[in-house]
Amino acid sequence: WFKWQMLRAMDNRGFQQGSFSSFQNSSSDEDLMDIPATAMDFSMRDDVPPLDREVGEDKSYNGGGIGSSNRIMDFLEEPIPGVGTYDDFNTIDWVREKSRDRDRHREITNKSKESTWALIHSVSDAFSGWLLMLLIGLLSGSLAGLIDISAHWMTDLKEGICTGGFWFNHEHCCWNSEHVTFEERDKCPEWNSWSQLIISTDEGAFAYIVNYFMYVLWALLFAFLAVSLVKVFAPYACGSGIPEIKTILSGFIIRGYLGKWTLVIKTITLVLAVSSGLSLGKEGPLVHVACCCGNILCHCFNKYRKNEAKRREVLSAAAAAGVSVAFGAPIGGVLFSLEEVSYYFPLKTLWRSFFAALVAAFTLRSINPFGNSRLVLFYVEFHTPWHLFELVPFILLGIFGGLWGALFIRTNIAWCRKRKTTQLGKYPVIEVLVVTAITAILAFPNEYTRMSTSELISELFNDCGLLDSSKLCDYENRFNTSKGGELPDRPAGVGVYSAMWQLALTLILKIVITIFTFGMKIPSGLFIPSMAVGAIAGRLLGVGMEQLAYYHQEWTVFNSWCSQGADCITPGLYAMVGAAACLGGVTRMTVSLVVIMFELTGGLEYIVPLMAAAMTSKWVADALGREGIYDAHIRLNGYPFLEAKEEFAHKTLAMDVMKPRRNDPLLTVLTQDSMTVEDVENIISETTYSGFPVVVSRESQRLVGFVLRRDLIISIENARKKQDGVVSTSIIYFTEHSPPLPPYTPPTLKLRNILDLSPFTVTDLTPMEIVVDIFRKLGLRQCLVTHNGRLLGIITKKDVLKHIAQMANQDPDSILFN
């Protein structure tokens, strides 16, 4: 007895390696994925809250105490904090999470029949999802409005300031001015350029140099603030966020990526990055911002806080709300979430995504950030129908979009890989400042690169009318029209030719500089730069077609449908089709892209040109490379994302992929009733596996179940702390009943409650195409391989991804995470 007591005293110092304390002592914002209170709590506390579990009668701690043959110890009847949760950079178990939610719902339904209070609780539980969507829509719309207003003001700050109120941007400053003329509507005494403020004049070379210097200085200041805030406070706030959100929605855990610090810093730095004049957009990061809102608000509701699968349904709806406020396209947002980012999208999520996108768009419309009752700066309405012959230039724009998309993906990924593998990646601040300086220096002399990209797209989409003062509308006979407020086809004037040269230079700059900008350590979206490249190409082609129709009206292709003086060609429509083609070439979107562009224009009659361009763009880009930009960045970062769109066509078997391979060490397993605490702790400390199969015995290799490494560590640690008598020689039982023990035997530790008794298994001769389908459709983390009922090996999601990469002649070691 004395010997046993001494052994216990020495052993109770605890299992140090991989202990539960390491999961709790988080000092960063990475606890944001699992805030342990029902309300939002921004204090730094436990990183891993308890998750709901059904604890059965048999889930107790069995052991024989001193002088007792078999005493039942019930410490496992209480939920153990951390059991059932997941480590960072690991994949969730979709099957287990959905099963938990069904059990929780079944319990609430059964209790609702017992009392009025339980019925009210059942109703509130059913309503909580809709309330959460309402809150996400309100918060996303409000933040998007704040970002739009701030970015507009700070972009104009690079060129001057409003003396009537520094908080007014250029347009708002001149709205109420009494000294504005029609020809110079953007000039008013209240708005002063920096040269006017510093040297009191806006004329001459020195004034130009002062304005040039201030433009570059403000751009560098905004970029420096953006990259510094990201680097110091929230490294996850960089990039667009869509590749990581796709990965998270597929079941991957990235703690802190959707946390409060990421939300705050991304919102601030997104304004700074857009205002700096870099070739980037805010649309992709707005999806990340909306998903951060969804994740944080999930902590107000137990139903979503405690279940990772349910939380991902909310994040799918939040992504739809993000696109809704980014483009003012609620329906396009829902389709974008369905087509591009979501992994699991049940019908209920479709309805809730629609509601969240509706509320977000309504909120942004109420804020009215652009003062024109529109949700986006480049909303436009066309009134001229398109003609069948124009499908030819539309398809040409689709080919250009596909070529640009494939070129951009290949070059951008090569540059990002160089950044990751060389010294360049160690100096993110210098990289951002150098790219910003080059962009600002090259952008200022050209009015089309100096203006914000959203304003550029707005001008390119614009259908010229009598009131337009843009150089793009400088036609020779602009006031000689046979129709009311519209202009017929007309010869281009000096302004149009000048604008064409400037746009051609803008196109070259945008194509080159965007390659180096996307992927830097600042918030950077790709939608707007891609649309700008396509809109410039489309406008150039549209003006060319317009002049061709004017000077060669007798040609057969024109005289059948375009009469002299008629308004036949709409260059703005070509710009819109080109924007859709280039965006489709980069992202490989089709349905959602067409709907987003349709919602931007408000015209049903232009769906066919948009569909033709989007489809052609996808075909051309796919012929040159199968991956879109987001999938390419997922693969570059080594995330375990199993693409549902790709077919597995190779004739390999499960035995070709499973671990261990021939000549490898035997599979590490636990036995159900013959291993001590010390044996299990040794296995945990000597291996890095995420879980272990449990078998009847090493001789039989008959499978009992599967237990996760994290659950084992937490349960053993908890038993040592809360229960006297657990020592290294205590036997661990995974069986339902433990046998009677002789007197003075250390208590046993019963861990059946953390054992998955129904792990997915396949035989060794199962074709890998079936195994891949199982992993895709059920969201599995691992699958066990058996032969005649005996355990042979294990296939993890990482093994499947490595095998797919190997079959595609890619580097299998690029898959970094489990």
Going from N- to C-terminal start, the domains of the chain cover: 134-175+183-367, 388-476+487-637, 654-808
- pLDDT for 544-554, tens place per residue? 888 887 777 77
Q: What is the pLDDT of residue 218?
A: 95
Range of weakest confidence among 47-51, 106-110, 537-541, 731-735: 47-51
CA dihedral over 242, 246, 247, 253, signed as positive or negative: positive
**Cα–Cα distance for residue pair 262/759, rounded to 1 Å:** 36
Helices (H), 380-526: 391-421, 428-443, 447-450, 453-461, 494-517
Residue 246: is it exposed, middle or buried by C-beta count within 10 angstroms (0-12/13-18/19+)?
buried
Domain 654-808 class? alpha beta
Mean pLDDT value of segment 108-114: 87
Residues 572-583, mean pLDDT to the nearest whole number: 93
Check if the beta carbon of residue 297 is closer than 8 Å to that of residue 43: no
Q: Side chain identity at 198, as an amino acid letter? A: I
DSSP character string of 690-733 = SEEEEES-TTT-BEEEEEEHHHHHHHHHHHHHH-TT--TTPEEE
Q: How high is the pLDDT of residue 75?
A: 41
- For 644, other C-beta atoms within 10 Å of its C-beta total 12
CB-based contact 649:761 (threshold 8 Å): no
Q: Which fold has domain 134-175+183-367?
A: Clc chloride channel (1.10.3080)
Give pLDDT tens digits for 698-748: 888 899 999 998 889 998 888 888 777 788 888 888 888 877 877 777 888
Give the pLDDT of residue 201.
Answer: 82
Which amino acid, one-letter code, is at 75? Answer: F
pLDDT value at residue 3: 43
- Supply the pLDDT for residue 506: 95
Angle 116-157/308-327 helices, nearest 10 degrees? 40
- Where residue 477 falls among pLDDT bands split at 50, 70, 90? low
Q: Write out pLDDT tens, residues 16-41.
A: 444 444 444 433 333 333 333 333 33
Top pLDDT among 258 and 603 is at 258
> What percentage of the chain reaches a pLDDT higher than 90?
42
Looking at every residue in the chain, the average pLDDT score rounds to 82
Residue 691 has pLDDT above 50, yes or no: yes
Residues making up the chain, counted from first to last = 818
Q: Which of 268, 261, 257 is nearest to 291 (CA)?
A: 257
As a whole number, mean pLDDT of residues 209-222 equals 94
Do domains 134-175+183-367 and 654-808 share one topology? The answer is no
Higher local confidence (pLDDT), 491 or 681: 681
Q: How confident is the model at residue 466 (pLDDT cuts 50, 70, 90)?
A: low
Structure tokens given for 559: 């005289």
Residue 79 has what pLDDT? 63
Question: What are residue 761's phi and psi, to 5 degrees?
Answer: -130, 150
Looking only at the bridges linking them, the beta strands covering 749-750 and 731-733 are parallel
Mean pLDDT of 413-432: 91
Looking at domain 388-476+487-637, what is its CATH homologous superfamily?
A: Clc chloride channel (1.10.3080.10)
Q: How far apart are CA 142 and CA 144, in angstroms?
A: 5
Q: How confident is the model at residue 112 (pLDDT cuts 50, 70, 90)?
A: confident
> Between the CA of residue 759 and those of 93, 755, 762, 802, 805, what are the distances in Å?
11, 9, 10, 22, 26
pLDDT classification of 496: cutoffs 50, 70, 90: confident
Please state the rounded mean pLDDT for residues 391-396.
93
Which residues contact residue 746 at a Cβ distance below 8 angstroms, ignoring those fewer than 6 apart?
4, 8, 63, 64, 725, 726, 727, 729, 730, 731
Of 63-67, 320-324, 495-499, which one has max mean pLDDT? 320-324
Backbone angles phi, psi at 268, to 5 degrees: -70, -50
Could you tell me which residues are beta bridge partners of residue 16? Answer: none
Given a cut of 90, whether residue 497 has pLDDT beyond it is no
Question: Across-strand partners of 659?
Answer: 794
Q: Which of 26-30, 144-148, 420-424 has the lowest mean pLDDT?
A: 26-30
- Note the helical H segments in 162-238: 170-175, 194-199, 205-233
- Overall average pLDDT of the 527-549 stretch: 91
In this prediction the pTM is 0.84
- pLDDT at position 202 is 80
Tokens 């229960």 belong to residue: 723
pLDDT tens digits, residue range 313-328? Answer: 999 999 999 999 998 8
pLDDT the model gives residue 564: 61
pLDDT tens-digit readout, 253-311: 999 999 999 999 999 999 999 999 999 999 899 999 999 999 999 999 988 988 899 99
Q: How many CB atoms lie within 10 A of CB 219?
A: 24
| Rounded CA separation 670/704 (Å) | 10
Contact 253, 33 (CB under 8 A): yes
DSSP 212-231: HHHHHHHHHHHHHHHHHHHH
Taking the C-alpha atoms of residue 596 and residue 133, their distance in angstroms, rounded to an integer, is 21
Asked if pLDDT for residue 486 goes beyond 70, the answer is: no
**What pLDDT score does 185 carry?**
63
Confidence band of 467 (pLDDT split at 50, 70, 90): low
Digit-coded pLDDT (tens) for 423-453? 888 899 999 999 999 999 999 999 999 988 9
- pLDDT band, very low/low/confident/very high, at 13 (cuts 50, 70, 90): very low
E strand intervals along 108-221: 160-162, 191-193
